[in-house]
Chain A
Amino acid sequence: MIGQHLEISVLAILILTLSALGIAFTPLSFLLMVILPYAAFVIFIGGFIYRVVKWAKAPVPFRITTTCGQQSSLPWIKSAPLESPSTVWGVIGRMALEVFLFRSLFRNTDVAIVGQRPVYGSAKWLWFFGLLFHWSMLVIVLRHLRFFIEPIAPWIKGLSAIDGFFEIGVPTLYLSDLTVLAGLTFLFLRRMAVPRLRYISLVTDYFALLLLLGIVTTGLLMKHFFPADLLHVKNLALGWVTFAPAAPKGVGTVFYIHLSFVFTLFVWFPFSKLMHMGGIFLSPTRNLANDNRMKRHLNPWNAPVKVHTYEEYEDEFREKMKLAGLPLEKE
């Protein structure tokens, strides 16, 4: 079963690739170029919103912040406004650190029993490659906007220029293409190589990585080995955004595979673990201030419960309380 999860993911990717090839050489390519983009986009946006709204609609009955630093208490004690925020700004700062820099993952350590004692070592690789992958992916997505906007916005040009700063090879090899590959490869190998990770991994865990690797690889192939006609690609993309899509000729087989992978990602994304992208913002241990005793938090479904009142208590223990000389409400 452990091996199976990986095998099934690989199989799924192969089937996707073959289907893409099948489409490329049949009239079905019309479907891929004209119908699917809209369907995938609608499912992605709709699904994403659906998931986030579903989470957001669930109430937060208690303020269960995880505090990772000194609370704000006495004025002369230095508090940790980003690790244990007591204000909205502190929470925004804490969330920004989580979202942009993966603050919590940066704490990562590993443990080994050395000399009959657990020893904690620094383990920042997951943080490093995780961050590398996510930022690279963002840069790549932004760079791709060049296909959808005419004239190309200066900031996209600027970003691409920085990304291709080292001007290695012709056409220029983008730094983000290398780093995204490095990040994904690390995450994939780590999942396969670390026994306990392999033990917990599901099909979806491998599939996510393989699909992204597939997208990146086909992208690189198109750029450096089987060049796609970028003008055709751009016309296709502009056709989509102007609602005048037309199936182009001569964009190459690899492009079909690339596109199939991307649409698969779009359709699958809202129903997968990749929704952590939206969910992180709603996590109650992170996005709530540690101001519990300063402001009352309201629970919308706070219901009365059966309690043991003082009157009932005194009724039961009156004689004993009298004997012990304790004051009573009723003699």
Chain B
Amino acid sequence: MASAKTPKPDELIAIRYAPPETPWMETPTVFRPGTWSYSGGAKSLTALGLPNPRAWQPSDADWKLPENWKEIILEGMRERLEKYRSFRLFMELCVRCGACADKCHFYIGSGDPKNMPVLRAELLRSVYRRYFTASGKRFGKLAGARDLTIDVLKEWFYYFYQCTECRRCSVFCPYGIDQAEITMMGRELLNLVGCNINWVMEPVANCFRTGNHLGIQPGGVKDMLEFMADDIADRTGVRVELPLNKKGADILFVTPSGDYFADPGTYTCMGYMMLFHEIGLNYTFSTYASDGGNFGLFTSHEMIKRLNAKIYAEAKRLGVKWILGGECGHMWRVLHQYMETMNGPADFLEEPVSPITGTRFENARSTKMVHIAEFTADLIRNGKLKLDPSRNDAYRVTFHDSCNPARAMGLFEEPRYIIQHACNHFHEMAEDTIREKTLCCGGGAGLGNDENMEMRMRGGMPRAMAVKQVKEKHGVNRLACMCAIDRATLTSLMDYWVPGVTVTGVHELLANALVMKGEKERTTDLRGEPLEGKAADETL
């Protein structure tokens, strides 16, 4: 399979919002290269005990489904309609007012009507009506119902893997219908017959076995952190400690594995380590709970629980008081909205109190897990950190609200507070593109793979264009975010749409500005790039 060539930006931006001539039920799904993801590998499925492991690709005519695939799907629907009020309601409540239609970044970027959340949902609703409602059984197409066929299943696959579960549509829906929930159900159903994508399934299999999506084994985690500690020593002259699997630590720190694997996430991770060293936090990383990220969210509710269980288990084993979580998007949806329900109660932990400021994190009193932005904002507020924002003067920063912290947590002010104390130049993007209306990076929910590049660039276009606007207006050259997927996907997105803008985590900016005890005079930032002013001074 040759990788598809992504069209040039000026070709890609020529988007038409006119629907095709043929009604949507009669418009066939074309698996155009560049707009879909490769199938989940049989090895991963087998390792996880998931159904129908086999060699296949979505572009094949024969998907090698089990003979009774239809019964499996319909039974799966029936079961989920009984288990989830959300699913039943969202199948029945929609009035097709169309308010959600042009809120989806994939629709804005592709013009494909089946990317309107309402129509993406109708793909599933039409089958629901046909088999679960009297009018659908009797009147068929007139009632918006249709038979479940192989083509319908393929259409589901194509479009449920063209949704990043970002929940933007649910902000605008007058009934709060959440396409993320419908996509999650759609993907669960597809998983029942073994239709999933490798960029989700391989990380899930890795995560189940090694504790992190990248499949890094215990020694590897240690090596990477040591490597970062060396870099920190090199830039700052301070050697930070490296607590790993340490019993008796006060706090277990869990972050997405992207943070210790690849740039620019590693700089953010260095930021955490510098911060914890500076405040003398008694904490530990864990190799077993080495990823807070949870691609189970992009697979099934059962898989969320299977991958998430390690976090409380490890906190219990190590005997920590509470848990602190790093910068990640979907990870925080799981931690905030699913973890304690699934794997709680967390009654063996203490209500989180900052050992530095004494602040009690009331909002995390039950789950006992605090977001690093909450933790750090509290440190700054209480004057516990010495910050020199001029060290970030080379950067004109804007902030991308990641979908899940925005719309599944409401974490808006904490990161902004940190950025504003760590940088002198901060510029918000347009109001319609930030906070609860934030636009997705285009590569969330497991879609951030290379074979899906055209769709990622399309889906990320609205975000990129908002960045482009502040770049032109304010000279923005740094895009800050609090999500490991963002740090990877926004980088490609910026290279494609807005060259010259680099992506950074919030704690990278903080660590640049952090004045540490015993540090040498800093001449570079964490990336080794000369600080503004310093390079010029040297040439004088």
> Are A and B subunits of one complex?
yes
Q: Give residues in A with beta carbon < 8 Å to B.
A: 1-2, 4-5, 8, 51, 54-56, 58-80, 83-84, 86, 98, 102, 104-105, 107-111, 113, 116-118, 120, 126, 130, 194-197, 199-205, 271, 273, 275-276, 279-280, 282-286, 290-299, 301-302, 305-310, 313-314, 316-317, 320-321, 323-327, 329
Report the bound CA distance from A308 to B209 in whole Å.
Answer: 7
- Most chain A beta-carbon neighbours within 10 Å: one of B82, B408, B462: B408
Contact pick for A67, options B144, B172, B210, B410, CB 8 Å: B410
A297 contacts across to B, CB distance below 8 A: 340-341
Number of residues from B at the complex interface, CB < 8 A: 119
Q: What is the minimal beta-carbon distance from A264 to any residue of chain B, in angstroms?
A: 15
**Given pairs A68-B407, A205-B95, A296-B367, 13 additional interface contacts (CB within 8 A):** A62-B341, A69-B435, A75-B362, A104-B174, A105-B99, A108-B172, A120-B433, A200-B101, A205-B96, A273-B94, A273-B96, A276-B94, A317-B287
Interface string of B409-431 (1 = CB under 8 A from A): 11111100100000000000010
Q: What 1/0 mask marks residues of chain B from 301 to 337 whose CB sits below 8 Å from any chain A CB?
A: 1100110011001100100000000000000000011
Rounded to whole angstroms, the CA-CA distance of A305 and B95 in the bound complex is: 37
Q: For window 1-35 of chain B, which residues contact chain A by CB distance below 8 Å?
A: 10, 13, 15, 17-19, 23-26
Quick check: B217 and A293 within 8 Å, CB to CB? no
Q: Which residues of B contact A62 (CB under 8 A)?
A: 301, 337-338, 341
Verify B363–A294 contact, CB threshold 8 A. Answer: yes
**Contact B436–A301 (Cβ < 8 Å):** no
Interfacial chain A residues near B218, Cβ < 8 Å: 317, 320-321, 324, 326
Residue in A73, A78, A116 whose CB lies within 8 Å of B363: A73
Asked if B85 contacts A293 (CB within 8 A), the reply is: no
Task: Give 1 or 0 for each of B371-401: 1 = CB within 8 Å of chain A CB.
Answer: 0001001100100000000000000000000
Known: A77-B417, A279-B175, A285-B176. A107 touches B367 (CB 8 A): no
Contact between chains at B437 and A107 (CB < 8 Å): yes
- Are the C-beta atoms of B24 and A199 separated by less than 8 Å? yes
Q: Is the CB of A77 within 8 A of B377?
A: yes
* Residue among B122, B174, B181, B468 making CB contact with A64, cutoff 8 Å: B181
Query: Does B54 lie at the interface of the complex (its beta carbon under 8 Å from any beta carbon of A)?
Result: no
Q: Which of B99, B210, B219, B417 contacts A323 (CB 8 A)?
A: B219
Could you tell me which B residues sit within 8 Å of A by CB distance? 10, 13, 15, 17-19, 23-26, 49, 81-86, 88-89, 92-99, 101-103, 108, 113, 116, 118-119, 122, 134-135, 141-144, 167, 170-178, 181, 208-211, 217-219, 222-223, 244-247, 287-288, 301-302, 305-306, 309-310, 313-314, 317, 336-338, 340-342, 344-345, 359, 361-367, 369, 374, 377-378, 381, 406-414, 417, 430, 432-433, 435-437, 461-462, 465, 468-469
- Is B84 touching A202 in the complex (CB atoms < 8 A)? no
**Residue of A whose beta carbon sits closest to that of B211:** A313
Known contacts A62-B338, A105-B99: does B171 contact A68 (CB below 8 Å)? Answer: yes
A-B contact count (CB 8 A): 311
Contact status of A107 and B417, CB under 8 A, knowing A1-B141, A8-B142, A293-B336:
no
Given the known A-B contacts A55-B89, A61-B83, A63-B341, are A196 and B410 also in contact in the complex, defined by CB atoms under 8 Å?
Answer: no
Question: Do the beta carbons of B176 and A307 come within 8 Å of each other?
Answer: no
